[in-house]
């Protein structure tokens, strides 16, 4: 496989230019074509000489992947399927991932995938069920932004699709760098939220290295119960994740939120709400309560709406901002925890 241009920094593109017999300043031109012009072929880089473009094509691929299918929810949410080829076990594995575009008034948020499958094994998650099929490259991640129909009107991004972003740290950091750099998409980091189950060393590096928002998948305040839902609790206990977060300032522009999927009779009781209140006391944060979307074979039921409302109110009455997140794209299997990177649920070939 040829190396991909998409995801490279201007510094790296300088080396590419020199290798292809181009002047150094071509690096800036190529970066502009990639991230501002968002071209779909090397041939479209028209201020690079024809010979230069041929030399580029001999050695490099643009790295842009188009979606192979798209499905549209009755609520306007759109789910795109992308073919990917990921390095795995000394070779490559062909797989597919999904990106979801969620419209909401004047916002257009992309929920982006960072891995094909996931190795974290959360029991309630379709992606976790399918196991791990490889890390997405920066080009694979950026293609989700560039290749969807709403590319130019996107307002926000959440790394909340397939995979654990902090388990593909280098590639996700590079994608975030491209998204936020002046030479890249020039997005404010405030437009980006990374969701993690709490891979502590990489979470620290992400907090230190960016100004993006963070969302932590919490789901249960009791360590033993959380371990039943999320094996990661063993390696990176929630208490330590919260301890790390307490070292950062979330009173200004940057936000931390906690994702809490509600399972009937499992984590939706008053005892859980009170433990959550104790756990988060003094931390400037928000809790997003998420309705569990049933997946085949998972031994969990969705909490009734009234139980969720009571849980939310108990948190709110104790000074914790809590909201029940609206489910989006459930009819096309695009809602939280449902992404599987598979054809079906109304996906149309493109």
What are the catalytic residues?
A: 98, 336
Stretch that binds ligand SF4, among 27-35, 96-104, 123-131, 250-258 (CB under 6 A): 123-131
State which of residues 86, 102, 120, 176 lies at the interface with ligand SF4 (CB under 6 A). Answer: 120
Q: In the bound complex, what is the minimum distance in angstroms from residue 197's beta carbon to ligand SF4?
A: 5
State which of residues 197, 199, 216, 287 lies at the interface with ligand SF4 (CB under 6 A). Answer: 197
Q: Tokens standing for 332?
A: 């096309």
Residue 26 or 95 having the CB closest to ligand SF4: 95
Stretch that binds ligand SF4, among 68-76, 118-126, 205-213, 274-282 (CB under 6 A): 118-126
- Measured distance CA(27)–CA(17) in Å, rounded: 6
Q: In the bound complex, what is the minimum distance in angstroms from residue 49's beta carbon to ligand SF4?
A: 45
Residue 27 or 120 having the CB closest to ligand SF4: 120
Contact between residue 86 and residue 135 where contact means Cβ atoms under 8 Å apart: yes
State which of residues 16, 118, 238, 315 lies at the interface with ligand SF4 (CB under 6 A). Answer: 118
Q: Which residue has the tokens 């590639």?
A: 171
Residue 121 or 304 having the CB closest to ligand SF4: 121
- Furthest-apart CA pair in the chain: how many Å? 69
Sign, CA dihedral 215-194-234-283, equals negative
Residue 103 or 231 having the CB closest to ligand SF4: 231
Q: In the bound complex, what is the minimum distance in angstroms from residue 338's beta carbon to ligand SF4?
A: 10
- Measured distance CA(320)–CA(79) in Å, rounded: 32
Residue 197 or 276 having the CB closest to ligand SF4: 197
Total binding residues for ligand SF4 by CB under 6 A?
A: 11
State which of residues 125, 229, 241, 340 lies at the interface with ligand SF4 (CB under 6 A). Answer: 125
Binding mask 329-348 for ligand SF4 (x = CB under 6 A): --------------------
DSSP secondary structure string for all residues of 256-305: EEEEEEEBTTTT-SHHHHHHHHHHHTT---EEEEEEPPP-TT----BPPH
Residue 10 or 231 having the CB closest to ligand SF4: 231
Stretch that binds ligand SF4, among 63-71, 82-90, 115-123, 169-177 (CB under 6 A): 115-123
Q: Is 249 helix (H, G, I), strand (E, B) or coil?
A: coil
- Measured distance CA(256)–CA(216) in Å, rounded: 8
Residue 309 or 342 having the CB closest to ligand SF4: 342
User: For the chain, what is the radius of gyration of the CA atoms?
Assistant: 21
Q: Residue 323: exposed, middle, or buried by beta-carbon count in 10 A (0-12, 13-18, 19+)?
A: middle
Q: Which residue has the tokens 């080829």?
A: 85
How, if at all, do strands 192-196 and 107-111 pair? unpaired
Q: In the bound complex, what is the minimum distance in angstroms from residue 102's beta carbon to ligand SF4?
A: 17
- Measured distance CA(229)–CA(237) in Å, rounded: 13
Q: 286-303 b/e with 16+ CB inside 10 Å = b?
A: bbbbbbbbebeebebebb
Stretch that binds ligand SF4, among 30-38, 94-102, 122-130, 273-281 (CB under 6 A): 122-130
Binding mask 128-167 for ligand SF4 (x = CB under 6 A): x---------------------------------xxx---
CA 44 to chain centroid, in Å, comes to 29
Contact between residue 219 and residue 229 where contact means Cβ atoms under 8 Å apart: yes
Using CB positions, name the residue nearest to ligand SF4: 128
- Residues contributing to the site for ligand SF4 (CB under 6 A): 118, 120-122, 125, 127-128, 162-164, 197
């Amino acid at each position: 496989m040829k190396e991909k241009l998409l995801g490279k920094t201007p510094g790296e593109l300088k080396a590419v230019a020199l290798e292809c017999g181009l002047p150094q300043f071509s690096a800036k031109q190529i970066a502009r074509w990639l991230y501002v012009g968002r071209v779909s072929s090397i041939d479209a880089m028209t201020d690079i000489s024809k010979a230069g473009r041929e030399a580029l094509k001999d050695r490099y691929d643009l790295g842009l992947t188009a979606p192979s299918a798209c499905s549209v929810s009755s609520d306007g949410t759109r789910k795109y399927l992308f073919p990917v080829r990921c390095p795995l076990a000394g070779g490559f594995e062909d797989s597919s991932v999904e990106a979801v575009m969620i419209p909401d008034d004047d916002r257009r948020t992309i929920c982006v995938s960072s891995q094909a499958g996931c190795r974290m094994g959360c029991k309630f998650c379709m992606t976790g069920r399918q196991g791990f099929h490889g890390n997405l490259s920066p080009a694979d991640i950026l293609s989700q932004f560039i290749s969807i129909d709403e590319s130019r009107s996107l307002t926000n991004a959440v790394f909340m699709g397939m995979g654990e972003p902090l388990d593909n740290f280098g590639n996700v950091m590079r994608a975030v760098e491209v998204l936020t750099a002046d030479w890249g998409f020039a997005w404010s980091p405030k437009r980006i939220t990374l969701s993690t189950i709490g891979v502590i060393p990489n979470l620290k590096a992400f907090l230190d290295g960016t100004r993006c928002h963070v969302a932590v998948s919490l789901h249960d305040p009791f360590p033993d119960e959380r371990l039943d839902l999320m094996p990661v609790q063993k390696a990176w206990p929630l208490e330590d994740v919260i301890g790390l977060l307490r070292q950062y300032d979330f009173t200004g522009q940057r936000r931390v939120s906690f994702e809490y999927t509600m399972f009937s009779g499992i984590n939706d009781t008053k005892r859980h709400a009170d433990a959550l209140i104790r756990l988060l006391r003094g931390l400037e944060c928000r809790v997003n309560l998420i309705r569990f979307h049933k997946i085949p074979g998972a031994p969990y039921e969705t909490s009734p709406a009234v139980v969720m409302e009571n849980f939310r109110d108990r948190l709110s009455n104790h000074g914790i901002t809590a909201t029940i997140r609206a489910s989006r794209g459930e009819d096309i299997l695009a809602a939280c925890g449902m992404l599987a990177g598979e054809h079906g649920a109304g996906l149309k070939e493109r």
